[in-house]
C-alpha cells in the first residue's frame, strides 16, 4: 500500500537531489562556458572563416562544449555561407546540449561515471568529425540529401559571405518586456546566492561521502538538524529554479538565438542566462527523478528490472529516436536515465549522437530543409554507432 508519506518522501528527495546533486555543479560549468563564449566569440568567427578545411573539426569542437551555445553560434554562420553543411552536421552530432551538464555532474558526484562521460564525448566528437567530412566529400547538402549521386530537390539558398559584419550580429536580442523577463533579471542574484550556499554543502557532502548519503527522512524535515537544513536549501533552490524555468517561457529549449545574443554582448546577461539555463536543467532532472521513482513505486518494478529493459537493441533505437526531438528537455531525461542505470552505454551514445540540443531551432528558422535533413543525417550515424557498441559488447 502506497502512503501519502511515501509520495511526500519521493517529492522531497527528488527536489533535494536535483539541486544538490546536479544543479550546483551544472551552475558552475554553465557560467564558465558562457563566460568563455562571451570572451572569445569574436576571435572564433575570424578563425573559422579563414580555415575552411578545418571547419567540420572546429564545428565538432564547438558542439562538444557543454550546453547549446557553441552549436547555436554555428547556425547563422551556415546561413551566411561561412561554413559547409558538413560542418553543421558535425556540430550537431558532437553536441550533447544541456544534457552534457547532467552527465558531467554525475561524474563529479560519482567517479564511476567519469569513464562513460569521457567516452561518450570522445565518441560523439570522432563520429561528428568523420561524418562531417564524409558529408562534404560526398556532396551531400539539403538540396541533395542522398549525396551528389542522388536526386536534387530545389536549390541551396545560401547567400554569399558578407565580410563586413560578423554572423553573430544575426543573432537576435531579447525584448525587455513581460513579467517573465522581470523575474529573470531581478531574481537571478538571489538564485545565485542560494546556489552558492548549495554548492558549498554539496562539496562538503562529497567530502563526507563515507557517511550514509541516504539519511533518515524524519531528520530531513527538521531544519534545526544539519541534514534538515541542507535539504531545505535543496528544496528552496529547486523551487527557485522552477520559477525561473516558467519565467523563461521555453518548455523544451532554454537557449535561443536571443539568449545567446545577449550573453555574447554583456557579462550581466551571461550571469542571468546562466541561471536560466541551469534552472532549465534542474526542472527536467527533477521531472526525470520523479518519473523514475513513481514508476518504481506504483508498478513494483525494481531498478534491476528497468535496467534489463534498457540494455538491448530496442533501447538503442528508442534513445536515437528521442534524439530526433528538438530541444534539450527530453534529452536530459534520456541522459538522466543512464545516470540512474536504466539504459545501457550504447543507448547513451546513440542518444548523444542523434540529439541536436537547442541548435535545431535557429536552423529551422533560417533553413527549414537543412534542419529537416540534419536530423536524418545525425540519426543515421547514431544508430550505426549504438548498434556497433551493442554488438561489440562495449560498455562502461
**Where in the sequence is the domain holding 295, given as residue range(s)?**
4-154+176-300
| pLDDT at 131 (0 to 100) | 95
Residues 6+ apart with CB under 8 A from 143: 152, 153, 154, 155, 156, 369
3 vs 301: CA distance, rounded Å: 17
9 vs 13: CA distance, rounded Å: 6
Residue 333 lies in a domain: no
Residue 366 lies in a domain: no
Residue 325 lies in a domain: no
Residues 6+ apart with CB under 8 A from 278: 23, 26, 27, 30, 101, 195, 241
pLDDT means per 10 residues, the chain with 396 residues, are: 74 84 79 68 66 88 81 77 88 89 82 92 96 91 72 57 52 61 79 89 68 49 70 89 82 58 67 82 85 75 57 89 85 87 92 86 76 89 95 87
**Grid coordinates given for 209:** 561521502
Residue 54 lies in a domain: yes
Residue 95 lies in a domain: yes
Residues 257 and 172 sit within 8 Å (Cβ to Cβ): yes
Among the residues of the chain, which ranges form H helices?
4-17, 24-49, 55-64, 69-79, 85-94, 99-109, 114-137, 179-207, 217-220, 226-248, 257-263, 267-299, 303-309, 313-322, 329-339, 345-354, 360-366, 368-392
| pLDDT at 320 (0 to 100) | 93
Residue 343 lies in a domain: no
| pLDDT at 52 (0 to 100) | 80
Residue 93 lies in a domain: yes
Q: Around Cβ 8, how many Cβ atoms within 10 Å?
A: 12
Q: What are phi and psi of 261, to 5 degrees?
A: -60, -40
Residue 250 lies in a domain: yes
| pLDDT at 211 (0 to 100) | 45
**Grid coordinates given for 211:** 557517511
Q: What is the DSSP code (8-state) at residue 169?
A: G
**pTM, rounded to two decimals:** 0.75
Q: Report the SS3 class of residue 309.
A: helix
| pLDDT at 378 (0 to 100) | 93
**Grid coordinates given for 49:** 572563416
Overall number of domains in the chain? 1
Strands, E, within 124-177: which ranges? none
Amino acid at each position: 500500500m502506497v502512503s501519502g508519506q511515501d509520495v511526500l518522501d519521493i517529492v522531497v528527495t527528488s527536489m533535494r537531489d536535483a539541486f544538490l546533486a546536479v544543479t550546483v555543479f551544472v551552475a558552475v560549468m554553465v557560467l564558465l562556458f558562457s563566460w568563455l563564449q562571451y570572451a572569445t566569440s569574436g576571435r572564433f568567427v575570424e578563425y573559422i572563416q579563414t580555415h575552411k578545411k578545418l571547419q567540420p573539426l572546429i564545428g565538432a569542437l564547438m558542439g562538444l562544449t557543454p550546453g547549446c551555445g557553441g552549436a547555436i553560434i554555428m547556425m547563422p554562420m551556415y546561413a551566411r555561407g561561412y561554413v559547409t553543411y558538413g560542418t553543421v552536421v558535425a556540430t550537431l552530432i558532437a553536441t550533447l546540449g544541456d544534457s552534457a551538464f547532467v552527465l558531467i555532474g554525475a561524474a563529479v558526484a560519482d567517479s564511476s561515471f567519469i569513464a562513460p562521460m569521457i567516452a561518450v564525448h570522445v565518441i560523439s566528437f570522432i563520429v561528428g568529425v568523420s561524418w562531417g567530412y564524409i558529408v562534404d566529400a560526398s556532396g551531400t547538402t539539403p538540396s541533395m540529401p542522398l549525396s551528389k549521386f542522388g536526386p536534387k530537390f530545389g536549390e541551396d539558398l545560401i547567400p554569399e559571405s558578407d565580410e563586413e559584419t560578423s554572423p553573430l550580429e544575426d543573432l537576435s536580442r531579447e525584448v525587455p518586456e513581460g513579467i517573465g523577463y522581470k523575474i529573470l533579471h531581478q531574481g537571478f542574484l538571489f538564485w545565485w546566492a542560494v546556489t552558492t550556499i548549495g554548492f558549498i554543502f554539496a562539496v562538503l557532502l562529497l567530502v563526507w561521502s563515507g557517511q550514509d548519503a541516504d539519511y533518515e527522512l524524519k531528520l530531513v524535515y527538521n531544519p534545526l538538524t544539519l541534514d534538515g537544513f541542507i535539504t531545505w536549501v535543496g528544496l528552496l533552490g529547486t523551487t527557485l529554479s522552477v520559477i525561473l524555468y516558467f519565467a523563461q517561457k521555453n518548455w523544451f529549449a532554454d537557449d535561443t538565438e536571443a539568449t545567446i545574443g545577449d550573453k555574447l554582448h554583456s557579462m550581466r546577461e551571461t550571469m542571468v542566462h546562466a541561471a536560466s539555463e541551469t534552472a532549465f536543467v534542474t526542472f527536467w532532472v527533477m521531472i526525470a527523478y520523479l518519473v523514475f521513482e513513481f514508476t518504481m513505486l506504483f508498478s513494483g518494478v525494481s531498478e534491476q528490472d528497468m535496467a534489463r529493459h534498457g540494455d538491448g537493441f530496442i533501447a538503442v533505437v528508442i534513445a536515437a529516436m528521442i534524439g530526433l526531438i528538438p530541444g534539450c528537455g527530453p534529452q536530459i531525461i534520456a541522459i538522466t536515465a543512464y545516470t540512474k542505470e536504466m539504459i545501457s552505454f550504447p543507448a547513451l551514445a546513440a542518444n548523444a549522437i542523434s540529439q541536436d540540443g537547442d541548435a535545431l531551432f535557429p536552423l529551422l528558422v533560417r533553413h527549414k530543409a537543412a534542419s529537416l535533413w540534419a536530423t536524418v543525417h545525425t540519426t543515421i550515424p547514431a544508430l550505426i554507432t549504438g548498434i556497433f557498441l551493442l554488438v561489440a559488447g562495449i560498455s562502461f
